Amino acid sequence: MMDRIDGAVGAPGVSFHPRFSGRSALAEIVRTTCSRSGRTTVLLPDYICNVVVRAVRAGGGIPEYYPLNTDFETDSAYVARRVEQKDCAALVTASLYGADGGCGWIQEQSWRDRLVSTSTIFIADLCQDFFRSGSLAPFLPGTGGFILLSFNNKSFPGLMGGGFVTETAKEWPAVPPYCLSSKQRVALYRRYLLMHLGALRRWIRSWYEATATLQPLSPEHGDCLSFPYAFTEYQAEKEQLAAACAGLSMRDRLASLRSQKLNQMGEAALKTPGVHRAPYVAVQRSWHGHARQKAPYSVDEDPKRSLRPGLLVIHNKGFDDV
């Protein structure tokens, strides 16, 4: 199973480290990076899932935010000037709704030199863009950087789980396997089953319900307090890896379904560079059709407030979309 996942996300000189969840993997990366560097500042996009912020804090990092524009991109020169102050432990970039979000900077020699000369660790959050990992991974060796990945029902159906890609030569602390209790195992499977039953129910309803106009939703907020959402620095379970392999086998089919729906959206969709891979698509209010909406992200300190309160986003995973 690991060979198959490595083949999908890696490249020569790098390897994939599976963890129980993407959020736990990020907390682990931040904890080790801050400990080794003696720095605590972690640069983050100002608009991002609050779980990412919590993971940084759980790892002992102090978030500092850089701005994203209306297309969820940022100013490379602005972030470069901040990194060159040489006091940041890490720079986290994120692909949101198909935007590059700075993840592609690792492909530029000037950025790789900058990261190395300032001892800043680069972390590309591809939890919404799993299949882009293979194009970024070849540029990790020599930088100490990471690609953060998730199996959690975004790029393909999964059973939680995630991990990170980094250069094989990088020494990394071993983590123990997660010995789930019977109760926890049942809860994990129950969550997976309910997700699919919910998708089936929404699909059946879409056959007879009238098309609804999209409306802004209350912000999405995660507290990361209970299983399986709490921070647990353990290896991924075999069941999670098996579910990930099954999801990877659906890659071509899901890509085709995403493309079909994206064509139906027409000009209503925000045409970000990776929108054809994105499990979520930002759209204009004029779009009509059966779709499951995704709420905007909340500010971590205030669950009821979002920096993008009017943002309209719909699912385009190729599964669980209605």
Residues 206 and 158 in one domain: no
Please report the pLDDT score of residue 57 as a whole number. Answer: 98
Residues 228 and 155 in one domain: no
Residues 77 and 215 in one domain: no
Residues 91 and 39 in one domain: yes
Structure tokens belonging to residue 124: 């590309």
DSSP for residue 229 = T
Q: What is the C-alpha to C-alpha distance for residues 8 and 240, in angstroms, rounded to an integer?
A: 16
Please report the pLDDT score of residue 181 as a whole number. Answer: 78
- How many separate domains does the chain show? 2
Residues 162 and 18 in one domain: yes
Is 240 a member of any domain? Answer: no
Please report the pLDDT score of residue 322 as a whole number. Answer: 75
Please report the pLDDT score of residue 296 as a whole number. Answer: 97
Please report the pLDDT score of residue 208 as a whole number. Answer: 62
Is 55 a member of any domain? Answer: yes
Q: What is the C-alpha to C-alpha distance for residues 242 and 182, in angstroms, rounded to an integer?
A: 19
Please report the pLDDT score of residue 206 as a whole number. Answer: 66
Q: What is the CA angle 182-184-188, rounded to 5?
A: 115
Is 322 a member of any domain? Answer: no
Position 45: which residue type? Answer: P
Residues 159 and 191 in one domain: no
Q: What is the C-alpha to C-alpha distance for residues 32 and 171, in angstroms, rounded to an integer?
A: 11
Please report the pLDDT score of residue 254 as a whole number. Answer: 93
Provide DSSP, 95-114. --TT--TTGGGGGSHHHHHH
Residues 153 and 191 in one domain: no
Residues 138 and 271 in one domain: no
Position 135: which residue type? Answer: S
- Please report the beta strands in the chain, taking only residues with DSSP state E, as ranges in sequence order: 14-19, 41-45, 62-66, 88-94, 121-125, 146-150, 162-167, 280-282, 293-294, 313-315
Residues 87 and 205 in one domain: no
Is 222 a member of any domain? Answer: yes
β-pair partners for 298: none
Residues 156 and 260 in one domain: no
- Supply the range of the domain harboring residue 210: 182-234+251-315
Please report the pLDDT score of residue 187 as a whole number. Answer: 78
Is 243 a member of any domain? Answer: no
Residues 78 and 131 in one domain: yes
Q: Is the dihedral of CA 286, 292, 297, 301 positive or negative?
A: positive
pLDDT in tens, the chain (322 residues): 777 887 888 788 999 999 999 999 999 999 999 999 999 999 999 999 999 999 999 999 999 999 999 999 999 999 999 999 999 999 999 999 999 999 999 999 999 999 999 999 999 999 999 999 999 999 999 999 999 999 988 999 888 889 999 998 777 877 877 777 788 878 777 877 877 787 777 767 766 665 667 888 999 999 999 888 888 878 888 888 998 999 899 999 999 999 999 998 999 999 999 999 999 999 998 888 778 899 999 999 999 999 999 999 999 999 888 7
